[in-house]
Amino acid sequence: MRVEIFCDGACSGNPGVGGWGSILRYGDKVKELSGAEGETTNNRMEMSAAIQALEALTRPCEVVVTTDSQYLAKGMTEWLSGWVKRGWVNSKKEPVLNRDLWEKLLALAKMHRITWVWVRGHNGHVENERCDELARAAIDSYRAGAGR
């Protein structure tokens, strides 16, 4: 079972109100997900988009995750193993930011066979552009809510 996931995050202010959007595609079936949070960062929203999409999977899968976030893609493919070996300290000997989300991604990665693919953002990639629309709409919806 091979699933394609496309994800993006956005933030109005950094930190500020943030949104995320994801698309899951399995064959001809497509599912869109989105959400928002107050007082967050763009990196957290990029990560949340991937987490929410991976958590939506109901069984172990072969997954290709496409993101425009180098932070997310490089974090998962280049940096994560070193952070874990060093006890969640980065190369500057500082605590890794967003450790809670990295730990969630690490756990999800153990459940699936994931290939991480980076694409340039806002460059005409149809699914990436749609994920950006979902994330921005989630921000708008959050702001329109009671007292936000």
**Is residue 146 predicted with pLDDT exceeding 60?**
no
pTM: 0.95
Closest CA to 18 of 69, 63, 58, 54: 69
Residue ranges of E strands in the chain: 2-13, 16-26, 29-40, 62-67, 113-118
88-101 average pLDDT score: 96
The one catalytic residue in 68, 75, 112, 127 is 68
**Residue 1: predicted pLDDT:** 80
H or E stretch at 80: helix 80-85
Which residues constitute the domain of residue 106? 2-144
Domain count, the chain: 1
Tokens of 65: 């995750």
- Cα gap 45→117, rounded to integer Å: 17
The one catalytic residue in 13, 39, 62, 122 is 122
For the stretch 16-75, pLDDT in tens is: 999 999 999 999 999 999 999 999 999 999 999 999 999 999 999 999 999 999 999 999
**Residue 32: predicted pLDDT:** 98
- Cα gap 140→36, rounded to integer Å: 9
Is 46 annotated to bind a ligand? Reply is yes
- CATH code of the domain in which 119 resides: 3.30.420.10
Is 8 annotated to bind a ligand? Reply is yes
For the stretch 107-141, pLDDT in tens is: 999 999 999 999 999 899 999 999 999 999 999 99
78-94 average pLDDT score: 95
| Whether 140 is catalytic | no
By DSSP bridging, strand 113-118 and strand 16-26 are unpaired
Name, in order, each residue with C-beta under 8 angstroms of 88's C-beta and a sequence gap of 6 or more. Answer: 95, 96, 99
Beta bridge partner(s), residue 11 = 18
End-to-end CA, the chain: 41
Residues in the chain: 148
* pLDDT band (50, 70, 90) for residue 147: very low
